[in-house]
Amino acid sequence: MCILKVENLYVNFFIHGSRIKAVDDVSFKLIRGETYSLVGESGAGKSSVAHAILKLYPPRIADYMGRVIFNGIDLLHTDESTLQKIRGNRISMVFQEPMSSLNPLHRIEKQIGEIIRIHTDISNEQVQERVMELLKTVRINNPEIKMKSYPHQLSGGEKQRVMIAMAIANKPDILIADEPTTSLDVTIQAAILDLLLELKERFGLTLLLITHDLSIVKRIANYVAVMKDGKIVESGDVQKIFESPEHEYTRYLISSIARKPFVAGVKKSVPVIEVRNLKVYYPILKGVFRRKQGYIKAVDGVNVTAMDGETVGLVGESGSGKTSTGLAILRLIKSTGSIVFMGREIQGLPVSKIRPLRSRMQIIFQDPYSSMNPRMTVEQIIAEGLKAHGMYRDAGEQRRVIEKVLEDVEIDPAMKNRYPHEFSGGQRQRINIARALVLKPKFIVLDEPTSSLDVSIEAQIVELLKRLQKIYGLTYLFISHNLRLIRSISDRVYVMYRGRIVEEGSVDRLFYSPKNNYTRELIKASLVFDL
């Protein structure tokens, strides 16, 4: 039985006086109790469709054409009061970024309670009971404590569970989930998906899933529509689409998932980085006078070695100490222990002696946009490091070097005078890679370099990194929570848990015969996303 029908939907945005088409003649229907997924890369129009269903964009931002029929009502052409009764009541939505969707000034109890009060007329006591019940339903531990907490006091997974609790508060008919697992660790992703499936069965929900991750689609969806440039290019039963995709773009998306183990080349036996008993302790300051009350042991006695030309994966969930390890190795944060770079002990060296080594040790950060100065052109961004190290004082030679490194990362050198906002996410990350490469480093720390990118762009960046490693003779420390990605690029892997290395070994050994229980849990969670 059809519960919602989208017919010939168009969405146009008004940007700087221009009318930009975001959704172009999209039609589909949701069957009661089933899961329908819209999949595609960033900018495909998926979220615009989801927002249009509830007419969330105001008239000054966008206009709509077509029909969205729910219970005989055309949601695009009904009055606002009717829409208010449907939004968050009969049709609910879980947004992509829970932190920006939750009010940082209000406690969790108040935020969930507001949703209930808008659509029901019950006492404060009953609302409180309902909030507690919802938090238990979405499996939040210690709900009596968490309901009194503010959003910043919750983990990413807990915040997403709160968003789901708000969405199901009034027992909707349809739940729209817009990238519900983006930026979450693989184990948390699996738990959130399990929760959505459980709630779907328990409450008879119809689920519309918006995602760029095809592995999630295959796991939980019944039907899928593939979107590109605002259009649906292919749709149908999930199994049929995956087994025999007809459209070239669908085949491209499926082939982009990095799932095959990386076949390592011949590596040299010379260590580039040797870390022994590395410790990073962050002080806990309390009271009016901010007195030290103890330490958070972010990194607690870690040993890591990376050989010349090798890619070493460092994997673990958020908070395990991965990033702190990478920053400490580069002497960007305080630590204790031994750090030997290219045969030289660098722990304890003064800043004046570390500075000349900076060009040989580089880092590429997780968010390509926030790590660049938006007021600088690409040429200026890449030239910054060259100037800091006094390299290529001749302006013409410097320009040629910058143009060459842009070509190496597959960015047109003619675009060097553009600013960061004029590039896509994948292009920005290529620019960040170019900024690191131009200094001719030997060792690069890659901190979740593809976590904010679409799966096809992720695959392109991984292939680019492999190619550049051979050209430049690089050694990588690749930090990620994505085991599928780690498996596709690494020679050896270290598994981190609560500041310690719990297991280490070759990719094959670690994935096919893990010894540690935590490693086994990580691999088990990642397998649910394999195609």
Do 331 and 240 have their domain in common? no
| CA–CA separation, 37 and 182 (whole Å) | 15
What pLDDT digit, counting tens, does each position of 489-517 carry?
A: 999 999 999 999 999 999 888 888 899 99
Residue 479 has pLDDT above 50, yes or no: yes
Q: In this predicted structure, what is the pLDDT of residue 262?
A: 46
Residue 483 has pLDDT above 70, yes or no: yes
- Report the CATH number that the domain containing residue 444 is assigned in CATH: 3.40.50.300
| CA–CA separation, 507 and 258 (whole Å) | 14
What pLDDT digit, counting tens, does each position of 319-374 carry?
A: 889 999 999 999 999 999 999 999 999 999 999 999 989 999 999 988 777 888 98
Q: Assess if residue 308 is contained within a domain.
A: yes
Residue 362 one-letter amino acid: Q
Residue 354 one-letter amino acid: I
Q: In this predicted structure, what is the pLDDT of residue 525?
A: 75
| CA–CA separation, 30 and 48 (whole Å) | 17
Q: Band of the pLDDT at 263, cuts 50, 70, 90?
A: very low
Classified as helix, coil or strand, 449 is: coil
Least confident of 53-67, 95-109, 142-156: 95-109
Do 211 and 340 have their domain in common? no
Do 243 and 318 have their domain in common? no
Q: Assess if residue 73 is contained within a domain.
A: yes
Residue 253 one-letter amino acid: L
Contact 345, 357 (CB under 8 A): no
319: tokens are 């908070």
| CA–CA separation, 383 and 392 (whole Å) | 10
Tell me how far the alpha carbon of residue 154 is from its chain's centroid: 18
Do 325 and 251 have their domain in common? no
Q: Band of the pLDDT at 293, cuts 50, 70, 90?
A: confident
Query: Is the Cα dihedral 80, 86, 89, 94 positive or negative?
Result: negative
Q: Assess if residue 431 is contained within a domain.
A: yes
Q: In this predicted structure, what is the pLDDT of residue 264?
A: 46
Q: Assess if residue 411 is contained within a domain.
A: yes
What pLDDT digit, counting tens, does each position of 399-445 carry?
A: 999 999 999 999 999 999 999 888 888 888 999 999 999 999 999 99
181: tokens are 């697992």
Least confident of 18-22, 261-265, 281-285: 261-265
Q: Assess if residue 389 is contained within a domain.
A: yes
Q: Assess if residue 521 is contained within a domain.
A: yes
Residue 266 has pLDDT above 60, yes or no: no
Q: In this predicted structure, what is the pLDDT of residue 260?
A: 46
Residue 21 sits at the vertex; the CA angle it makes with 16 and 22, to the nearest 5 degrees, is 105
Contact 183, 451 (CB under 8 A): yes
Do 238 and 377 have their domain in common? no
| CA–CA separation, 469 and 272 (whole Å) | 14
What's the whole-number mean pLDDT along residues 511-531?
79
Do 467 and 513 have their domain in common? yes
Return the closest-CA partner of residue 367 out of 179, 183, 213: 183
Q: Assess if residue 261 is contained within a domain.
A: no
Do 275 and 251 have their domain in common? no
Q: Assess if residue 402 is contained within a domain.
A: yes
200: tokens are 């779907």
Residue 261 has pLDDT above 70, yes or no: no
Tell me how far the alpha carbon of residue 310 is from its chain's centroid: 25
Contact 131, 112 (CB under 8 A): yes
| CA–CA separation, 277 and 279 (whole Å) | 6
What's the whole-number mean pLDDT along residues 458-466?
88
Residue 131 has pLDDT above 70, yes or no: yes
Q: In this predicted structure, what is the pLDDT of residue 528?
A: 52
Determine the longest span between alpha carbons in the chain, in angstroms.
75
Do 353 and 471 have their domain in common? yes
Do 134 and 198 have their domain in common? yes
Q: Around 77, how many Cα atoms within 13 Å sit in the side-chain half-sphere?
A: 11
| CA–CA separation, 243 and 320 (whole Å) | 37
In the chain, pLDDT over 90 holds for what percent of residues?
61
Mean pLDDT of the chain: 89
In the chain, pLDDT over 70 holds for what percent of residues?
96
Do 278 and 176 have their domain in common? no
Do 247 and 276 have their domain in common? no
- Residue 389 is part of which domain span? 271-286+293-527
pTM score > 0.85 for this model?
Answer: no
Q: Number of structural domains, the chain? A: 2
Q: In this predicted structure, what is the pLDDT of residue 505?
A: 93
Residue 108 sits at the vertex; the CA angle it makes with 106 and 109, to the nearest 5 degrees, is 100
What pLDDT digit, counting tens, does each position of 154-164 carry?
A: 887 888 899 99
Q: Which residues lie below 8 Å from residue 169, measured CB to CB, with a gap of 6+?
A: 88, 92, 112, 115, 116, 130, 134
